[in-house]
Amino acid sequence: MQPFRVHTGVVVPLDRANVDTDAIIPKQFLKSIRRSGFGPNLFDAWRYLDHGEPGMDNAKRPLNPDFVLNQERYRGATILLARRNFGCGSSREHAPWALVDHGFRAVIAPSYADIFHNNCYKNGLLPIVLGEGEVAKLFDATAAFPGFSLTIDLERQTVGTKDGSLAFRFEVEPFRKKCLLEGLDDIGLTLQHADQIRAFEAKRLAEQPWLA
């Protein structure tokens, strides 16, 4: 998992509340259990004018010009700005997979669905919680300034503009912060104890060889 320390990126505003995981990555794309390949179908029903199915050539599909991800001013955005209760609905881990595969490193919203919030940390995506008023200020700034960007410093737990005109502090649990800073997912955490695991397995095999 890619570590998250300091990140500066263009912000794209998704001005909708209660965005559920089926909107983030529709159910027909959940057949794969690999973490990659979901980015082109992120927000598929809003992003394209036709109905998407696995195996389609997305480069040939008609784009919805009114959807923010298709607008030139937000091209290459790596920070998603959203409204309350982002990631509600089913518990599919494919939702953060799709966001990360598209290139997002962080989401900023007033609140998240619990399971989505937890899944973000496990996949290197930082879900920042700010107050409704703070999020509203960011929506205003994003609309007013094409190419509006923010710098997120996870160690200091701050997010703001380079000139300091907007600056906010966010909370994050110490354990989750450590995992993101060091790029540790559940597998990475387990492998930190690889020597102890191997020692246990060797001891068990010596004492109970019939288990092999």
**How far is the C-alpha of 103 from the C-alpha of 49, rounded, in Å?**
22
- pLDDT at residue 154 in the model: 98
Q: Tell me the DSSP string of 66-87.
A: TSGGGSGGGTT--EEEE-SSBT
DSSP secondary-structure letter at 155? T
What tokens were used for 60? 């040939």
The total number of residues shown for the chain amounts to 212
Contact 72, 53 (CB under 8 A): no
> For the segment 39-75, what is each residue's pLDDT rounded down to a tens digit?
999 999 999 999 999 999 999 999 999 999 999 999 9
Percent of the chain with pLDDT over 70: 95
Of 35, 182, 149, residue with least CA distance to 97: 35
DSSP secondary-structure letter at 65? T
DSSP secondary-structure letter at 5? S
What tokens were used for 74? 């937000």
What tokens were used for 118? 């937890």
Work out the average pLDDT over 162-188. Answer: 90
- pLDDT at residue 189 in the model: 64
The band of 192, judged by pLDDT with boundaries at 50, 70 and 90, is: low
Q: What is the CATH number of domain 6-183?
A: 3.20.19.10
DSSP secondary-structure letter at 62? P
> For the segment 102-151, what is each residue's pLDDT rounded down to a tens digit?
999 999 999 999 999 999 999 999 999 999 999 999 999 999 999 999 99
Name the one residue in this structure whose structure tokens are 């990126």. Answer: 9
State the helix-helix crossing angle for 114-122 and 174-182, rounded to 10 degrees.
40
CB atoms within 10 A of CB 166: 16
Across the chain, mean pLDDT equals 93
The band of 187, judged by pLDDT with boundaries at 50, 70 and 90, is: low
Contact 128, 107 (CB under 8 A): yes
pTM of the predicted model as reported, rounded to 2 decimal places:
0.89
38 or 196: which leads in pLDDT: 38
Name residue 129's beta-bridge partners.
109
> For the segment 4-37, what is each residue's pLDDT rounded down to a tens digit?
999 999 999 999 999 999 999 999 999 877 778 9
Evaluate if residue 76 carries a pLDDT over 90.
Answer: yes
Strand pairing report for 79-82 and 158-160:
unpaired
- pLDDT at residue 146 in the model: 94
Evaluate if residue 182 carries a pLDDT over 80.
Answer: yes
Work out the average pLDDT over 180-203. Answer: 75
What tokens were used for 202? 């060797």
In the three-class reduction of DSSP (H, G, I as helix; E, B as strand; rest coil), residue 145 is classed as coil
